[in-house]
């Protein structure tokens, strides 16, 4: 996990509509950048729907929510449509941002070891500096916790 107080790594990734986004384009706004393992799984859906329900409150705080996983643009589009997600989902199939933000880790599940995304959320300030970092967040609690961090 990256430390607070450092410049957040730049990225250039396609969203659920195939449009390229960079961190630079969000200068002047706070960014809640959350990394999650997989579209349409139970935990990831709870997390995304939670962010969707609170999206207007994040906007009131001058913040944008961006989700990142290694799922495809098409998978993100289906996820967005199915759950009416009002925020950007970035596809990182090449693990560009996932590795830059140090969230690609060894995971153990049911005694099996594999590599995958550890659910992590960063809050980045208007100047592109990481001001908060949260590793191994609880999917259902993460959206409300991040909103409280912006209060």
**What residues are labeled active site?**
44
Tokens of 65: 């929510």
| Sequence-ordered list of residues with C-beta below 8 angstroms from that of 120, at least 6 positions apart, any chain | 1, 34, 35, 101, 103, 133, 134, 135, 136, 137
Cα angle value 14/16/18 (rounded, 5°)? 45
Of 149, 129, 133, 136, nearest in space to 6 by CA: 129
């Amino acid at each position: 996990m990256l430390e607070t107080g450092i410049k957040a790594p730049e990225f250039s990734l396609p969203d659920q509509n195939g449009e390229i986004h960079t961190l630079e384009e969000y200068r002047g706004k706070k960014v809640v950048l959350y990394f999650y393992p997989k579209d349409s799984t139970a935990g990831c859906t709870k997390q995304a729907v939670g962010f969707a329900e609170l999206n207007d409150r994040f906007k009131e705080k001058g913040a944008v929510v961006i989700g990142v996983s290694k799922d495809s643009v098409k998978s993100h589009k289906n996820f967005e449509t199915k759950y009416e997600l009002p925020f950007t989902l970035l596809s990182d199939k090449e693990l560009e941002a996932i590795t830059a933000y140090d969230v690609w880790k060894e995971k153990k599940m049911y005694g099996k070891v594999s590599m995958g995304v550890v659910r992590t959320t960063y809050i980045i300030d208007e100047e592109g500096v990481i001001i908060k970092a949260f590793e191994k967040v609880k999917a259902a609690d993460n959206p409300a916790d991040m909103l409280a961090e912006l209060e």
